[in-house]
Amino acid sequence: MQIGKLTRAALFASAVALQAVPAMAAHRPAEDGEFPIKLAPSKADWHTFIQATEAERRKLWGYQTSRGRHLGDWSWGWRLGWVRVCGRSEAPYCGGVLQEALLDKAVVVRAEAASALGRLYEHTANPAVVRVLAGAYPNSRNWRHGKPLFVQQRILYALRQIGGAAALEAGAALAGQEKAAVTYWHQLDQSKAW
């Protein structure tokens, strides 16, 4: 089978397995002949990525980072994909992916990263994750005209999910910076879901 006739799904699998693909199908050209991280994923790409094993994704991530490429170098669709898969994984590289995602240029990626961390570390009182979330809260890109964006609520919610004294203290302190956030934090405190 010639490389030009490979499907995108097979191409993804080949890229992961071989750590590099010498050429891509004509309709999906890649930068320097490798997996096209800057192009939006097709449905087939997305499906294959989500269905890939943890080991395959770890190899793909390792291959890209060994070449100096990090989460911000991928298209936003791929960045959301990494957040989704790493939000279900305790693999060491995934912790780094989620930390990078909290500082991503796209607000939706930042918000999804906060939600993923909250779910992944729910009821753990993990102090390292609390510090990461609290550190991401004041990011200037999380505010518009002095008002917090929805990513701020996701961070507060994640802190409440993680729980523990440090998370609750951090959440209360962060929420205290803005009236709407104080109201939201009090609503979380009153919620029966905890």
Residue 115 shares a structural domain with residue 42 = no
Mind listing the pLDDT tens digit for each residue in 79-118?
Answer: 999 999 999 999 999 999 999 999 999 999 999 999 999 9
Q: Is residue 171's pLDDT more than 80?
A: yes
Q: Which domain holds residue 32?
A: 1-49
Instruction: For residues 42 and 113, state if they share a domain.
Output: no
Instruction: State residue 193's pLDDT score.
Output: 58
Instruction: Determine, yes or no, domain membership for 120.
Output: yes
What's the CA gap between 76 and 39, in Å, rounded?
9
Give residue 28's pLDDT.
43
Percent of the chain with pLDDT strictly greater than 90: 66
| Assigned domain for 97 exists | no
Distances (CA, A) of 19 to 15, 102, 103, 136: 5, 27, 27, 32
111 in the same domain as 37: no
Residue 88 resides in a domain = no
Q: What is the mean pLDDT of residues 127-154?
A: 92
**pLDDT confidence of residue 7:** 44
- When mean pLDDT is compared across 46-50, 77-81, 121-125, the lowest value belongs to 46-50
Q: How many structural domains compose the chain?
A: 2
Same domain, 43 and 111: no
The residue with greater pLDDT, 191 or 144, is 144
Confidence of residue 36 (pLDDT cuts 50, 70, 90): confident
The domain boundary, picked from 10, 34, 49, lies at: 49
In a domain, 78, yes or no: no
**Residue 20 confidence (pLDDT):** 33
Do both 45 and 124 map to the same domain?
no
Model confidence at 177, pLDDT cuts 50, 70, 90, reads confident
The verdict on 32 and 114 lying in the same domain is no
Identify whether 94 is part of a domain.
no
Name which residue leads in pLDDT, 5 or 72: 72
pLDDT value at 176 more than 60:
yes
Looking at per-residue pLDDT, the higher value among 158 and 178 belongs to 158
* Tokens 């990494």, residue located: 82
Whether 27 has a pLDDT exceeding 60, the answer reads no
39 and 114 part of one domain: no
Domain membership of residue 54 (yes or no) is no
Residues 111 and 45 in one domain: no
125 lies in some domain: yes
For every residue of the chain, DSSP letters joined together read --GGG--HHHHHHHHHHHS--S---TTS--GGGS--TTSPPPHHHHHHHHHS-HHHHHHHHHHHHHTT--GGGS-HHHHHHHHHHHTT---HHHHHHHHHHHT-SSHHHHHHHHHHHHHHTTT---HHHHHHHHHHTT-GGGEETTEE-HHHHHHHHHHHHH-SHHHHHHHHHHHTTSHHHHHHHHHHHH-TT-
pLDDT range class, residue 34, cuts 50, 70, 90: low
Q: How confident is the model at residue 2 (pLDDT cuts 50, 70, 90)?
A: very low
Q: If pLDDT is split at 50, 70 and 90, which confidence band does 143 have?
A: confident
